[in-house]
Structure 1
Amino acid sequence: MDSISQAALGAAVAGAVAGRRCTPKVLLAGAALGTLPDLDVLLDYGDPISNMVKHRGFSHSLFVLLPFAAVLAVLWKRVVAKDWPLWQLMALIGLSLITHPLLDSFTSYGTQLFWPFAVPPVAISSMFIIDPAYTIPLLVPVLAAFIWRSRAAKLCAAGLTISSLYLVWSLVALGMMKDRVEENVAGTHLEGQPVFMAPSPLNTVLWRIVILDGDKYWEGLASLMDEDPAIDWMPMVRGEWPFPSPPPLLIDLERFTKGFVSFEQQNDDLVVTDLRLGMATYHPFSFVMAMQSENGVWALTEPTQLDPGPVLPRTIPALWLRLLGAQHIDAMLCNENDCFRDEP
């Protein structure tokens, strides 16, 4: 999730755990702890693909954060808060830290909660990385806690309750979409194929679905406000890797994305794209991984990340109308030169 949401969550957790001891300093400390795990973004792992797949790694691991919280609590008690019970400091610091990766795990990006064990990143995909419906009910009580200090802990607890209920709702919405997709592909060749679904930007009402199908994939949008349960699928070229075996970086990327990648030749470049993030023909994570010589021979190259460019101005109002159930405008969200509508 975004830094504002993480800071608000950390502050709310700290305020609720502190109880009568809650002060503005405690809230600020919780906000700092809530954003601390994301400092790993400052690390350079040598190439853009490694930077992507290793983000939310060790700094988001429960096996790192919990021992770190215990050590930090002991130091905090000795130096800063000598009158605090140690258990309360451990709870405040530990919960402020681990709620960060737990919240991240609700997004599509993936969070390595169990690093260093070889377990796939946890990515529930029920939340977009920025969602005002989650952040505002959490942020407003936290800001109010700075003013009404006598009620600070209760305000923080109220914000946590509302935001947590929204997380529960996102899981309910995800389940509803899974049922709808299963009904749509039942009896077709897409039944049983790998499916990815995630909410579109800033909401949990309009969902994007991607289904892998060999050298192509099918993409569709579905809103909880649709009157017609049928999904208008758009088949797109997925391509394939031109070498006999994938290099380690591609193996890492496919593991990270659970296979939801595409391969496209752009001039003399082979572009590998993470299909989970973005929509239709707009994807923020695309990498050049190979180049083709004049005689048509492919050769691996040092990965470089492509600039996705600006979002088309028509996209935002079209997304809003689509969220409200306007199923006829699906084509507005897709470049007609790159994809078309069809039945699976």
Structure 2
Amino acid sequence: MDSLTQLALGAAVSVAAMGRRTAVWKAVLVGAVVGTLPDLDVLIDHGDPVANMVLHRAESHALLWLTLATPLLAALVAGALREWGAWRRWCGAVGLALITHPLLDALTVYGTQLLLPFTNQPYGLGSVFIVDPLVTLPLLIGTGVALARRDPASALRANAWGFGLAVAYLAWGALAQQHVRGVAERSLAAQGVPADRILVTPAPLQTLLWRVVVVSGDRYLEGFHSLLDETSTVQFDRFDRGLALAEPLRGHPPLVAIERFSQGFYKLTREGDTVVVHDLRMGQEPAYVFAFGVGRGSATIAPLSPPTAVGGRGDAGAALRWLWPRMWGEPLPPPR
């Protein structure tokens, strides 16, 4: 999730964990800071844009390392606030602020390597968009009201309500995702389309409109379904994956890394004399946030090292103008 949401989540769980053992403002401040710490790994340059992508949300988001770091961070907090008597309580608050960060990230589609060092498998449920106001606002309002209340019991209730609403919304997203997946599977079966992989993830900023990506051999399909659509059928557009462009690049580390990290949701295109690999999970046709030049040449394709970042976000204005009516069930074709 975005940094603001992680800050708000860290603050909320810290307030809940500390209860009346410290001032609300102290719990908010510590939780907000600790809740954003894992994302400082974006400051590390791993040498090329592909490595920077696949190594984000790695060790800094691993549950084991965060658990081991908790007692030390809690000691630093307790010492700085001169609250050594509450060290164990601070361990709980700091640990929850750290652990809930990657757990929330794992609900997005990006991929979070929760189980390092045992496996580098990226986990991404994809049931919530990376920025969603209905996750962030309840957390911010809950902690904001808690800070404003003088009565500790009232402050804790306000924080609990905000946290509870955010969690309920996340649960709703997971249920809605499974519903749309069922709609997509039935639509594919009715259209006679074999599916190697199916991805269902919300369109930006909400959980009413869902994007469905299907990998089927050497092509991929993209469709959208709103929970308010009058029909229960997903209409798909079909595109070539450009797998022939991958043949001269087999074994090229950046391409292998994207194939693995995207869990098979990728395509290749030629842009001038550059072969570009696109992660199909983030963005929508034809613009993808993560796209990298991995080969170069016209008649003969050679590996490009280091790879180059060429991703973009497309026309955000056109996308947002389409998103609003499409979200409410208006059957509009996506902007291309």
| Residue in structure 2 matched with residue 196 of structure 1 by the alignment | 199
- TM-score normalised by structure 2 residue count: 0.94
Instruction: Assess if the C-alpha contact under 8 Å between 2:198 and 2:213 holds in 1.
Output: yes
1:282 equivalent in structure 2? 287
Matches within 5 A, 1:35-50: 35-50=36-51
How many Å apart are 1:291 and its aligned residue?
0.5
Which of 300, 303, 310 matches 1:306? Answer: 310
Determine the structure 2 residue equivalent to 1:231.
234
Give 1:334 shift.
3.5
What residue is the counterpart of 1:155 in the other structure?
158
Indicate conservation of the 8 Å contact 2:195/2:216, yes or no.
no
Superposition deviation, residue 187 in structure 1: 5.1
RMSD of the TM alignment (CA)?
1.6
Q: Is the 8 A contact 1:22 1:149 kept in 2?
A: no
- Work out the number of aligned pairs and report it: 330
C-alpha distance in 2, partners of 1:126/1:8? 19
Amino acid at match of 2:13: V
Stretch of structure 1 that moved more, 125-134 or 241-250: 241-250
Shift of 1:116: 1.6
* Map of 1:249 onto structure 2: 254
In structure 1, list runs of 5 or more residues that go unmatched: 336-344
- Report SS of the residue matched to 2:275: strand
Is 2:249–2:302's contact at 8 Å kept on the other side of the alignment? Answer: no
What is the 5 A alignment of 1:8-157? Answer: 8-20=8-20, 21-78=22-79, 80-150=81-151, 151-157=154-160
Given that residues 23 and 149 in structure 1 are in contact (C-alpha distance below 8 angstroms), is that contact kept between their aligned partners in structure 2? Answer: no
Q: Distance in 2 between matches of 1:315 and 1:245?
A: 35
Question: Unaligned stretches of 5+ in structure 2?
Answer: none
Equivalent residue number for residue 268 of structure 1: 273
Where does residue 259 of structure 1 map in the other structure? 264
Q: Provide the C-alpha distance between the structure 1 equivalents of 2:82 and 2:16, rounded to a whole number of angstroms.
A: 17
Q: Does 1:324 align with 2:328?
A: yes
Question: How many angstroms apart in 1 are the aligned matches of 2:311 and 2:252?
Answer: 23
Find the counterpart in structure 2 of residue 3 from structure 1. Answer: 3
- Native 8 Å contact 1:242 1:298 kept in 2: no
- Does the 8 Å CA contact 1:16/1:153 hold for their aligned counterparts? yes
Listed one character per residue, the Cα deviations across residues 115-163 of structure 1 (whole Å, up to 9, x for unaligned) are 1222421101000000011111111111122211423222221111110
Report the counterpart of residue 340 of structure 1 in structure 2: none
For 2:123 and 2:54, how far apart are their aligned partners in 1?
A: 12
Cα deviations by residue, 1:4-49 (Å, 9 ceiling, x for unpaired):
1110100011111111123212211110011110000000000000
CA contact (8 A) 1:40 1:56 kept: yes
The AA in structure 2 aligned to 1:285 is: F
* Distance (whole Å) between structure 2 residues aligned to residue 98 and residue 130 of structure 1: 19
Name 2:178's counterpart in structure 1: 175
Given the superposition, is the C-alpha separation of residues 165 and 84 from structure 1 closer, same or farther in structure 2, using an over 3 Å criterion?
A: farther
Alpha carbons of structure 1 residues 119 and 50: separation in structure 2 relative to 1, 3 Å:
closer
Q: Which of the numbers 216, 222, 235 marks the counterpart of 1:213?
A: 216
Partner secondary structure for residue 300 of structure 1: strand
How far has the Cα of 1:182 moved from its partner? 1.3
2:2 is matched by which residue type in structure 1?
D
TM-score, normalising length: structure 1? 0.92
Contact 1:15 1:152 in 2 (8 A): no
Matched AA of 2:124? A
2:319 aligned residue (315, 318, 321) = 315
